[in-house]
Structure 1
Amino acid sequence: MRMIAGCCLAIILFYASAAKAEDLCFDEAGMQYGINPQILRAIAKVESGFNPRAVNRNTNGSYDFGVMQINSLWGRTYGEEWWSTLGDPCTNIKAGAMILASCMKKYGYSWEAIGCYNSQTPGKRNKYAITVFKQLQRIERDERLASAKSIKDNPKDTSAVPVTKPLAAQQQSVPEEEKLALQNQSPAETEPEQSIALSGE
């Protein structure tokens, strides 16, 4: 019986440490590409539910792979060797951050750029951005609740107190006014004519 309990504990600890390591990958990718890690987490949740083995086959014959659901068409751009490394969750997360950074280069630090991660079609971009925005709100709410619980359980422990706003990007590569605009607007506010059609969600 002790052996079974020991095996179960080892499995739990293995997956817990893997989850922590993957969590750090979002932070590293965010720092590397000047993107808020919470946005990357929200995209990963929307894309794969954080499943590093997720595969989605598309009607055009391409497929999406991994935590960030990197489309196989990117393999043509970056090469087969690059594509073969995407089975590693951290590499997949960094690839997703790189793709999002290219969208941000095109559209600025905006919800349109976040929508670009999924589609080049304006209507699909806006719908996707709204989905990511809602997920981001859930992530931030859950963090606030966890932080409040930690403070309640350990009032003398200040490590749970957030030092920065959850959506504040930390990189200087993004102009401050663009960061503030993204923080204070939902996707619906950035593209009002398209958001009207999507407001029933």
Structure 2
Amino acid sequence: MFNIESELLYAIAQQESAMKPGAIGHNRDGSTDLGLMQINSFHMKRLKKMGISEKQLLQDPCISVIVGASILSDMMKIYGYSWEAVGAYNAGTSPKRSDIRKRYAKKIWENYRKLKGMSAEEKNKRLSIASNK
């Protein structure tokens, strides 16, 4: 749908929620991150217009991944298919947050690299465990 590797989305979910679909994160700026992909409440106005609720983000990991992929795709329209775009998924696009983007992207790269080195059997086992959480 968004032409983003599943391993990259998985690596982001690992970092964002430790693969916990019902995860809720509270940020210093007062916003909240919801679900497997930790979708920031900043996006809720747009998502509600599309019929997606906070409850769905917390209870349906597939919706969380689709929304996360959509947000990452938006960042890729700005930065290209790059680690800068991956960093912007978490840190946004402000030039002042460049270092935060780089640190976040490095964490995702480490998760991604490990996933790419796994056998198909290992990946399926991890996905099975994650879907049962």
Give TM-score, length-normalised by structure 1: 0.54
SS of the equivalent of 2:57 reads: coil
- Give unpaired runs (5+ residues) of structure 1: 1-31, 148-201
Give TM-score, length-normalised by structure 2: 0.80
Larger radius of gyration: 1
| Residue of structure 1 aligned with 2:29, choices 49, 60, 64 | 60
Percent identity, aligned pairs only, is 36
* Number of residue pairs matched by the alignment: 116
What is the aligned partner in structure 1 of residue 69 from structure 2? 97
| Residue of structure 2 aligned with 1:77, choices 46, 54, 72 | 46
Structure scoring higher RCO (CA < 8 A, sep ≥ 6) equals: 2
| Residue of structure 2 aligned with 1:107, choices 68, 79, 92 | 79
Shift of the alpha carbon at 1:79? 2.5
| Residue 139 (1) aligns with residue 111 (2) | no
The 1-side partners of 2:113 and 2:90 are apart by: 19
Q: Which segments of structure 1 move beyond 6 Å, counting only runs of 4 or more?
A: none
- Give unpaired runs (5+ residues) of structure 2: 124-133
The 1-side partners of 2:24 and 2:38 are apart by: 7
What is the aligned-residue RMSD (CA, Å)?
1.8
The one-letter amino acid of 1:128's match is Y
The one-letter amino acid of 1:127's match is R
Shift of the alpha carbon at 1:35? 0.5
